Amino acid sequence: MAPHAADPPTPAGQETGPSDSNPIGPPSGLSAIPSRYNSEQGLRQSMKQIGYDEAREDGYRLKGVQLIDSVRQSLQLPVKTFDTAATYYHKFRVRFPSNEYNYEDVALASLFVACKAEDTIKKSKEILCAAHNLRQPHDHKTPDDKIFEAPSRFTVGLERHILETVGFDFRVQYPQKLLIKMVRKMFPREEQGTMEEGKRFLRVAYNMSIDLYKTFAPIKQATFTLVLAILELTALLLDTNPANTREFRDASAWHSHRPCVLETILDLLDLYTQFPKSTKIGTQFALQKLMDVKIDINNLIAREKYQRYHEWCDRCAPDVLDTRSVTPGSATSPATNPSLSGNSSKRKRAPNEGTQRFVFDADEARKEKEVVSRYFNDEYEEHEVEVEEPIRESEPRHPGRTNHSYRSHGHSQGDYGWPGHHHRSNRHGHPSDRHRSRRGHGY
């Protein structure tokens, strides 16, 4: 094979620029990469826009996630499907007010979308049938029952809104897999007496990873942060030997930050102290034990001079939430009422909000931009038009004289400084005005 010819040298003083056929960087079209995480302050601002009632919405959040978990267990779906469904459910609730949907409809629709995203496909009627049998065990139904025809259409309608809410970004974290690996590292099988302790520790930590999705922590923190928080809180509740968790105290070595770990721990403790009966772990420990651990974490945050919420800005903190009493209903859900869809004009929209598309070919992106630019570019044409305007004749004025003097003598006509034909004496006019005997303002 003949060798390739060498490229010609570049002349001095000239720089080689990128060619049009091989551009540098992303395509010239609109490219937006959605953020997987949100801060506590950003979540509160979003909830303020939709009129979030904290006392009411917290109950809907817990009931929705609990419904997802119950239906998932009934259908024997893996835990990763539960993680995905709970994440979609939280993102939807942050964007839409509760008076536009029913939380049970959204919870089941989120599980339906998660089954497709995680390749554990279940029909919408199967999910609805499982939820019906859980609510009414005495009235057992099958997925082929005609009673699920209308709810199935509602679920499919909500599926579109959920996909638009997540922006077709199906990236979701699964802390359970990493949690099991770290627990095995904490309690190796080679050591005697650690097998039972490790099983007990994993049982509590695994249930805590399920309870974690009843908070907003999964849409605020990364996977390592969630796992480190679960390990540390479980060790504090079980009074585990600190030597087992010493290597996990350095958050920077595990791609995380210490303030984020403490924030997640406090989110879990707030859940366990306020809603213990809605969790798997809250009823297993005494309330005094949970309060003592919470006090210790708060003292640690004060001692290290951390903030309760990571990257919280006091200057741009939101005001008190504008709450309003709402009652959700299926009749007002986006799936049943098109006027209450996600494009409601009463709510503020994000700047890059909408359906996201992925174009992998730079040439196709360039061609698409050229075609679309025809409809968004404002083009103007300049035309010169000659217009004849009549020139008004100037009206002569006598310097230093106004018609006020004539009005003072009882004359109301306006002569613009020129005396009328009744005043031609030297007292009222100039001596040289004798040739202006005609009535008028000109010669």
Q: Is the pLDDT of residue 300 over 70?
A: yes
What per-residue confidence (pLDDT) applies to 167? 78
d(CA 173, CA 383): 61
Spatial neighbors of 262 by CB under 8 A, at least 6 apart, are: 229, 297, 300, 301, 306
DSSP string, 373-416: HHHH-------------PPPPPPP--TT--THHHHTTT-----T
Q: Is the pLDDT of residue 149 over 90?
A: no
Res. 273 pLDDT band, cuts 50 70 90: very high
Cα 382 off chain centre by: 43
The answer to whether the pTM exceeds 0.85 is: no
Superfamily for the 40-172+319-340 domain: Cyclin-like (1.10.472.10)
Among 274, 268, 248, 264, which residue's Cα sits nearest to residue 301? 264
Residue type at 183? V
What per-residue confidence (pLDDT) applies to 36? 76
Q: Is the pLDDT of residue 319 over 70?
A: no
Task: List pLDDT tens digits, range 34-56.
Answer: 677 888 888 888 888 877 777 77
Among 161, 65, 146, which residue's Cα sits nearest to residue 113? 161
Cα 384 off chain centre by: 50
Q: At what angle do helices 124-135 and 54-74 cross, to 10 degrees?
A: 110
106 close to 166: Cβ distance less than 8 angstroms: no
Instruction: For residue 65, give the DSSP letter.
Output: H
Q: Average per-residue pLDDT in the chain?
A: 76
Q: Is the pLDDT of residue 213 over 60?
A: yes
Instruction: For residue 6, give the DSSP letter.
Output: P
Q: Where are the domains of the chain?
A: 40-172+319-340, 175-304
Cα 52 off chain centre by: 15
Q: Is the pLDDT of residue 321 over 70?
A: no
289 close to 268: Cβ distance less than 8 angstroms: no
Res. 367 pLDDT band, cuts 50 70 90: confident
Please tell me the least confidently modeled range out of 295-304, 387-396, 422-431. Answer: 422-431
d(CA 169, CA 87): 11
Task: List pLDDT tens digits, range 117-133.
Answer: 988 888 899 999 999 99
d(CA 91, CA 96): 9
